[in-house]
Amino acid sequence: MLGDKKVLYSGMQATGNLTLGNYLGALKNWVALSDQYECFYGVVDLHSITVRQDPAELRKRARALLTLYIAAGLDPEKNCIYYQSHVSGHAELAWILNCFTYMGELNRMTQFKDKAAKHADNINAGLFTYPVLMAADILLYQADVVPVGVDQMQHLEITRDIAQRFNGIYGDVFTVPEAYFGKVGAKIMSLQDPSRKMSKSDENPNASIYLMDDPDTIMRKFKRAVTDSESQILYREEQPGIKNLIDIYCACTGKTAEETVREFDQKGYGEFKSAVGEAVVSVLKPLQDRVAELTKDKAYIDSVIKKNGEKAQYFANKTLRKVQKKVGFPERIR
């Protein structure tokens, strides 16, 4: 806990292009948390290199993501927005925690199995120990809470197990984090396969709306969105494509599913898809304009990177020095 506020930690990978699902499901909701919590939001570029990256592209995407955090409304004076790779404590703590994590625990991680299947030609040790680095991210800042989706609960559980194991040996060193279930962000599904979440790594470009898609591209993708042959706009599990479009429309307009069904009663799918597309364009246009404005202000973004990186390093070092002392590393001569 920093001062009177509890600490919240989260982050996103600097790979791929963020989708409408990332924005409506997470990023948009982060903005409201800064008054309640001391928030650390990482651009988690260390995690990105478990898969081979083009170096120039990774640097470009990392900066674009940090800029997007600010454009979405995260105030860098209130929130610590930083590059994970700029704080050496992440890697240092991850190594120490590796020595307190069991192979059996890592073997049970479903995301490792999924990623190993996707990258069979590059099943590296980093991919296997990825959850330990994630635990280090969280524990380094003594986070009280971590916003998680269902698919990330397993990673938070292993983080709690590692923290409790370490505390059991060395005393009260780490805050044991809790899952944060605040306002539930919209769960946005793929436009081409509504049984799966919208993903920035989807191979079908028509399946996802990317935050930087221009209006014409957005409208075209919605026109191609998978629906069904029922031709009725109803909010029910039997019509997953339409249900997903209603969820998107509600998230962008603030209307309820019931209001949306009434609004489009007796109207065709084509008209509804166009309305959803227009609602998304109206939400993303101000965000895109702000990104363009911030991108031009190189000095400002550089100052945020420097100032917030130093802040993150300061708090990370407080935890790291305590951990190093507990495990028996020699003290540094200052």
Catalytic-role residue among 187, 200, 255, 311: 200
Answer yes or no: 221 catalytic. no
Catalytic-role residue among 78, 197, 311, 322: 197
Residue 119's closest CA among 18, 49, 189? 49
Catalytic-role residue among 115, 221, 243, 273: 115
What is the Cβ-side half-sphere exposure of residue 188, based on CA atoms within 13 angstroms? 28
Answer yes or no: 200 catalytic. yes
Q: Just list the catalytic residues.
A: 115, 197, 200
